[in-house]
């Protein structure tokens, strides 16, 4: 085989390798994009739709430009690197965009534009790489598409199983920068030096973001305030100076405990930062307090950041399964397993509330935190009222409804938290809204 043939084979192999790596980078970016957007714009099907639309739009523009014009591959890869670098500062960029005086949709579309230049460049490279193979149109487009698709599959798998599990978002971005460096030019000494710097940055970077399999979490400290964000929504907050809970609804939850005749044993289903439990323990040091939380990362945050006392036992698992296996009886049950906008379907049914009732003392109280803006709120309350004959509610701005329910009449019998002014009103069953007997009856899930 001639030297020219070897060179041609080498060029074809490198071209297909570039297509593979570009496909890999595209999927890694597409998967981490919602994670980057989440703390500022939330996680919803709308955010995912915007991200996917932007990536497809970028590839469309890139394919079109690459088919009509000639570009240097090395320059395009250099530009791809150039547009990756601002992503290192995505938090500052997205925070500024989230403060703009526009609606949420405009902010989300504006922020997602950060990913557009890279997808356009990757799209441009596709037809140029096909031309570089020096084959007929059918074969060239087939090989490049196959390589890029295989790279996308590998990118999706390694992101889901490895990158998100072991690296922070910043470290993943730095990894993409390092991967891009491998594709630039042929100066191996320069590339090796730059790559070594990137590797050092990856392993020395501390993102301070807790990693969770269930949600995107970030912790912020602003002066004396500690904030716990999950999926773009504020889950917990407290004043670290005096350890008081920040939310208005926290006071309603704390005062609802006084509906229990003898609040000696409490369980919280869903932990968050645990600031409410810490406040209860401070006021009732002899009370036995337990919590059940499905996400071990949340328990870690409650212990490390919100300083949940060691005397409060925290179990990791699903609340319903935990109660089914438990033989304990509780005077107070706090149900706060929910994320905006809707709670898990298996925790809002007659079945589940009957299970809760079986684990409660007859003069105990069930306290539930609902999202006031949920269009199904009346159905949730109807379902609670179907199981518990006595139910009272309290609405707290900006968006919480606290429900207190009991097999017995609800009367204030314990000590109140006077710093929180709370007035509960009796809830009347609304015949115009559903009762969720089981999961099948919840049609919107």
The whole-number pLDDT of residue 186 equals 60
Give the H or E element holding residue 218. strand 217-222
> Encoding tokens for residue 231?
């999926």
Q: What is the pLDDT of residues 32-50, one digit of tens each?
A: 998 888 877 877 778 889 9
Instruction: Give the separation between CA 15 and CA 25, rounded to whole angstroms.
Output: 15
Q: Which of 374, 315, 316 is nearest to 345 (CA)?
A: 374
57, two tokens: 């739009």
Least confident of 150-159, 268-277, 366-375, 425-434: 366-375
- pLDDT score of 125 more than 60: yes
- Strand ranges in 240-350 using DSSP code E only, listed in sequence order: 244-245, 265-269, 288-293, 313-316, 330-335
SS3 393: strand
Radius of gyration from C-alpha coordinates of the chain: 27
Burial class (CB in 10 A: 0-12, 13-18, 19+), 351: middle
What share of the chain has pLDDT > 90, as a percent? 44
Mean pLDDT of 165-174: 83
Tell me the percentage of the chain whose pLDDT exceeds 70.
Answer: 88
Phi and psi of 341, rounded to 5°?
Answer: -100, -15
Whether the Cβ atoms of residue 272 and residue 219 lie closer than 8 Å to each other: no
Asked which of 64-73, 116-125, 264-273, 368-377 is least confident by mean pLDDT, the reply is 368-377
Whether the pLDDT of residue 375 is over 90: the answer is no
**DSSP class of residue 88?**
G
- Three-class SS state of 371: strand
Strand partners, 352: none
Among residues 111, 140, 89, the alpha carbon closest in space to that of 40 is found at: 111
pLDDT value, residue 203:
63
**What tokens does 374 get?**
């949920």
Check pLDDT > 50 for residue 245.
yes
DSSP code string of 151-184: HHHHHHHHIIIIIHHHS-HHHHHHHHHHHHHHTS
Separation CA 230–CA 339 (nearest Å): 9
pLDDT in tens, 212-229: 877 778 788 878 888 888
Report pLDDT for 151: 95
Domain ranges of the chain: 3-204, 243-441
Quick check: 414 pLDDT over 80? no
Stretch 153-169: mean pLDDT = 87
The b-or-e profile of 109-124 (16+ CB within 10 A means b, else e) is bbbbebbbbbbbbbbb
3-204 and 243-441 share one fold = no
pLDDT tens digits for range 10-38: 568 889 999 999 999 999 999 999 888 88
Rounded average pLDDT over 130-159: 91
Q: Please state, in angstroms and rounded to a whole number, the distance separating the CA atoms of residues 412 and 264.
A: 15
Mean pLDDT of the 390-418 span = 85
Please tell me the predicted confidence (pLDDT) of residue 7: 45
Query: Higher-confidence residue: 91 or 362?
Result: 362
3-state secondary structure of 141: helix
pLDDT of 233 higher than 90: no
- Which among 350, 356, 363 has a CA at the least distance from the CA of 410? 363
For residue 6, pLDDT over 60 is answered with: no
Q: What is the pLDDT of residue 147?
A: 94
Q: Which residues of 22-55 are buried (b: 16+ CB within 10 A; e: fewer)?
A: bbbbbbbbbbbbbbbbbbbbbbbeebeebbeebb
By mean pLDDT, which of 123-127, 188-192, 307-311 is the weakest? Answer: 188-192
Q: Is the pLDDT of residue 426 over 50?
A: yes
User: What CA–CA distance (Å, rounded) separates 434 from 441?
Assistant: 9
Give the model's confidence band at 134: pLDDT under 50 very low, under 70 low, under 90 confident, else very high.
Answer: confident
Q: Which residues contact 170 (CB under 8 A, 6 or more apart)?
A: 88, 205, 207
Whether 336 has a pLDDT exceeding 80, the answer reads: yes
pTM: 0.65
| Range with lowest mean pLDDT among 58-62, 114-118, 144-148, 235-239 | 235-239
Q: Which fold has domain 243-441?
A: Rossmann fold (3.40.50)
Strand ranges (E), 270-422? 288-293, 313-316, 330-335, 360-371, 390-396, 400-406
Q: What is the pLDDT of residue 23?
A: 94
Strands 390-396 and 400-406: antiparallel
Q: What pLDDT does 441 receive?
A: 65
- The CA-atom distances, in angstroms, between 31 and each of 81, 328, 386 are 19, 43, 42
Does domain 3-204 sit in CATH 1.10.357? no
* Higher per-residue pLDDT: 240 or 189: 240
Is pLDDT larger for residue 323 or for residue 417? Answer: 323
Taking the C-alpha atoms of residue 258 and residue 77, their distance in angstroms, rounded to an integer, is 65
Q: What is the pLDDT of residue 39?
A: 73
Would you say 333 and 364 are in contact if contact means Cβ atoms under 8 Å apart?
Answer: yes
Describe the crossing of helices 104-112 and 3-41 by its angle, rounded to 10 degrees.
160
Least confident of 111-115, 130-134, 194-198, 252-256: 194-198
Residue 2 has pLDDT above 60, yes or no: no
Confidence of residue 200 (pLDDT cuts 50, 70, 90): low
The count of C-alpha atoms lying within 13 angstroms of the C-alpha of 67, restricted to the half-sphere facing its C-beta, is 8
Distance in angstroms (rounded) separating the CA atoms of residues 433 and 344: 19
Per-residue model confidence (pLDDT) at position 212: 80
């Amino acid at each position: 085989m001639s030297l020219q043939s070897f060179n041609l084979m080498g060029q074809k192999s490198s071209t297909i390798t570039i297509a593979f790596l570009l496909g890999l980078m595209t999927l890694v970016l597409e998967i981490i994009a919602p994670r980057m957007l989440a703390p500022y714009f939330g996680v919803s099907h709308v955010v995912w739709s915007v991200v996917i639309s932007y990536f497809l739009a970028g590839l469309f523009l890139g394919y079109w430009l690459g088919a009509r014009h000639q570009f240097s591959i090395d320059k395009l890869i250099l530009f791809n690197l150039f547009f990756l670098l601002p992503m290192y500062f995505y938090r500052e960029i997205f925070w500024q965009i989230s403060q703009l005086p526009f609606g949420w949709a405009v902010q989300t579309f504006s922020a997602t534009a950060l990913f557009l230049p890279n997808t356009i460049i990757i799209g441009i490279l596709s037809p140029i790489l096909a031309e570089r193979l020096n084959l007929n149109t059918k074969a060239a487009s087939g090989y490049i598409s196959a390589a890029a698709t295989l790279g996308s599959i590998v990118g999706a798998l390694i992101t889901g199983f490895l990158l998100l599990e072991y690296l922070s978002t910043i470290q993943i971005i730095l990894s993409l920068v390092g991967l891009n460096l491998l594709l630039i030019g042929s100066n191996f000494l320069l590339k090796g030096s730059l790559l070594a710097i990137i590797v050092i940055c990856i392993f020395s970077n501390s993102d301070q973001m807790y990693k969770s399999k269930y949600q995107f979490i970030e912790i912020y400290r602003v002066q004396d305030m500690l904030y716990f964000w999950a999926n773009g929504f504020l889950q917990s907050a407290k004043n670290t100076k005096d350890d008081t809970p920040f939310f208005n609804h926290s006071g309603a939850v704390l005062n609802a405990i006084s509906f229990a005749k003898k609040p000696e044993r409490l369980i919280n289903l869903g932990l968050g930062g645990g600031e409410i439990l810490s406040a209860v323990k401070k006021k009732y040091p002899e009370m036995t307090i337990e919590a059940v939380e499905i996400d071990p990362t949340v328990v870690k945050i409650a212990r490390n950041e919100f300083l949940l006392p060691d005397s409060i036992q925290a179990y990791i698992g699903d609340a319903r399964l935990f109660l089914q296996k438990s033989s304990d009886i509780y005077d107070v049950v706090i149900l706060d397993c929910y994320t905006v906008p809707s709670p898990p379907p298996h925790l809002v049914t007659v079945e589940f509330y009957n299970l809760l009732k079986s684990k409660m003392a007859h003069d105990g109280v069930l306290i539930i935190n609902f999202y006031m803006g949920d269009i199904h709120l009346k159905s949730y309350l109807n379902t609670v009222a179907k199981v518990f004959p006595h139910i009272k509610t309290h609405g707290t701005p900006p968006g919480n409804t606290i429900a207190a329910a009991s097999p017995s009449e609800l009367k204030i019998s314990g000590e109140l938290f006077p710093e929180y002014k709370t007035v509960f009103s009796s809830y009347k069953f609304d015949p115009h809204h559903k009762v969720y007997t089981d999961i099948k009856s919840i049609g919107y899930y």
